[in-house]
Amino acid sequence: FLSSITGARVSSPGYSHYAASKAGILGFMRTAALEFAPWNVTLNAVEPGNILTEGVMEHQSQSFVDAQCAAVPLRRLGTPQDVAHAVRFLVSDEAAYITGQSIIVDGGQTLPEMSTAILPEAAR
Distance of alpha carbon 25 from alpha carbon 111, whole angstroms: 21
Residue 116 in this model has a pLDDT that exceeds 60: no
| 42 vs 110 pLDDT, higher one | 42
| Structural domains present in the chain | 5-110 (3.40.50.720)
For 72-101, write each residue's pLDDT tens digit: 999 999 999 999 999 999 999 999 999 999
| 33 vs 109 pLDDT, higher one | 33
| The one catalytic residue among 11, 18, 73, 123 | 18
18 is known as an active-site residue: yes
- pLDDT score at 90: 98
The CA–CA distances, whole Å, from 62 to 3, 21, 43, 68 equal 26, 29, 37, 10
Distance of alpha carbon 67 from alpha carbon 70, whole angstroms: 5
Residue 15: pLDDT band (50, 70, 90) is: confident
- pLDDT score at 92: 98
